Structure 1
């Protein structure tokens, strides 16, 4: 179905801005006690009862952050929420509310925007996050999605990027590089389709890496897991721009060095095989690919026994004194300077 084919579709201008907002928000149900007032007034009203409030905003632009040639609008809405929730998780905190602002061009029908919001609502329902406001407007630059997320935590629980100490273990959740290899596959099939629209995409058996790109999941479960283990990370960040970039962020802000071991970096077999199909180094995909939205964090060595047997946490290195440098130890034992080559939003 062509979402932009206006035959038997509803034009947005038939509803107007306020009619569209009413249409999209009429079924919102609030789940957090901290949400005293959500959508429907000039501002939302929140009460966190002594907790510290965390706020983060991300913007997604058509043609820069997503390609509608292979990104279903429902998946896009879901992902737009997830990348914001991940920022709150990266502070060792709990996301609770979001505001959603959308800019859209005249090519979008009501049905297309409904599909986008279906994904947004699905993500909020799954993670028990309240939608409390936002904005809609016209756009001449394609689809623009801006989401602000609010979360909460006890002051002593909040984890920053600058707390890593010498000797701390470097850990990461899940596996890495899948989102990047999934993107390479989607881009290849897009080119094939553009050359011959009669050829169907060849994505069989690649569900995992496609989902890693189109439908990532914020790792709120890791936050809960660490709390249940009675482990508080000393530093934390989410892997949005590639493992190397995120490790260097922690090292820079903590004024420390690191030893990272290639053989310890978790890479799913499908990611590994697909990277090789594209003549890519799977390790480079993990180090520089980005968009995995896993959590990278450091813990004290005293917490080793608590985390060592968890299948969803990999210990991939340790923090050193600044003079030791920031290094990647290859599988062959060679020492390489760790460099960030992740995604750059402003590259031409």
Structure 2
């Protein structure tokens, strides 16, 4: 029962604390609910397979800034974000539903531009947009998305399942989306101060693209199926590697050693981070919105991935539950701290 009588500020709990507090009041009662709150998707037993269901909310001023985020790119990114959770369970997305809250500052043409981006994403990922809802909003554009997918029962991946000595692997590169955001916010500030100044983002094309138009890693799931690989645990990198490690460690009852020298960081990300007086490794661990896949893998599968350019082994699993350490290039050890309230546009 919800019987608190005192006022508790949400900031005192943090994002993860709030989720855990609410989740303890709900437990599945239907026999076909395999997994409720606590993973990237809810898992429902459909007999010959598992159905996967997940949801995302994007709010203007918190998750995106329309002063520099084109609506078409935003529509594409929104679909990519929600189906990324399906891929994190080793499944394939099939349907999405989209609810939007709109103010009267939006024209029909603007809404069409948003949905044109969604249509492109649906076509690219083979997903059907099958419904949704619309409402008036007084606080800017609001987008609520639900994705439905499926996975073979023997192939499903949860956050739990990582075992001592498993390899820790990440796809793609890290930190680019965060540094792209820094560039866009810098150029916005310059424009507001000097409206005649044109944005200077051509040399940052890769990282700006990582921020504006995310791509969920369906291709990785396709590669897993071709190679016959099933990760022992998996999560998508939406809030940053540090936060995702926290989830994997908690669910699996393990710890991780991450090696700084192994973190895959694009040269454009490195150069931009240094120009902003930021440590590229910290950016890679805490940046968020890369939508890569972070997973653990049995050592016996290493030979299958060692020459694959999209896979980087960045560490391994330890038996020290909840103890996540970064091993620096100089050999020093540092605790990896999970970040809460990871929304990219928050103050």
Q: Structure 2 length normalisation: TM-score?
A: 0.84
* Partner Cα separation in structure 1 for residue 276 and residue 322 of structure 2: 35
What CA deviation, in whole Å up to 9, does each residue of 1:157-178 have, x standing for no partner?
A: 1100011001100000000000
Instruction: Name which of 131, 134, 137 aligns with 2:132.
Output: 134
Equivalent in the alignment of 2:259: 261
* Partner Cα separation in structure 2 for residue 343 and residue 237 of structure 1: 18
* Partner Cα separation in structure 2 for residue 244 and residue 254 of structure 1: 15
Tell me if structure 1 keeps the 8 A contact 2:63–2:346.
Answer: no
Equivalent in the alignment of 2:7: none
1:331/1:196 CA distance change after superposition, 3 Å:
same
Alignment of 1:187-266 (within 5 A): 187-266=185-264
Report the structure number with the largest CA radius of gyration: 1
Equivalent in the alignment of 1:77: 75
* Partner Cα separation in structure 2 for residue 323 and residue 240 of structure 1: 23
Tell me if structure 2 keeps the 8 A contact 1:237–1:295.
Answer: yes
Tell me if structure 1 keeps the 8 A contact 2:97–2:132.
Answer: yes
* Partner Cα separation in structure 2 for residue 103 and residue 246 of structure 1: 29
In the TM superposition, residue 244 of structure 1 has moved relative to its aligned partner by 1.0
* Partner Cα separation in structure 1 for residue 273 and residue 342 of structure 2: 21
Equivalent in the alignment of 1:313: 311
Equivalent in the alignment of 1:57: 55
* Partner Cα separation in structure 1 for residue 124 and residue 243 of structure 2: 29
Number of paired residues? 301
* Partner Cα separation in structure 1 for residue 48 and residue 141 of structure 2: 38
Tell me if structure 1 keeps the 8 A contact 2:48–2:153.
Answer: no
Structure 1's unaligned 5+ residue stretches are: 1-47
Whether 2:340 is the aligned partner of 1:325: answer no
SS at match of 1:135: strand
Structure 2's unaligned 5+ residue stretches are: 1-45
In the TM superposition, residue 51 of structure 1 has moved relative to its aligned partner by 2.2
Equivalent in the alignment of 1:168: 166
In the TM superposition, residue 323 of structure 1 has moved relative to its aligned partner by 5.8
Tell me if structure 2 keeps the 8 A contact 1:288–1:343.
Answer: no
In the TM superposition, residue 284 of structure 1 has moved relative to its aligned partner by 0.8
Instruction: Name which of 80, 83, 86 aligns with 1:88.
Output: 86
Equivalent in the alignment of 1:304: 302
In the TM superposition, residue 325 of structure 1 has moved relative to its aligned partner by 2.9
Equivalent in the alignment of 2:42: none
Equivalent in the alignment of 2:278: 280
Instruction: Name which of 122, 125, 147 aligns with 1:124.
Output: 122
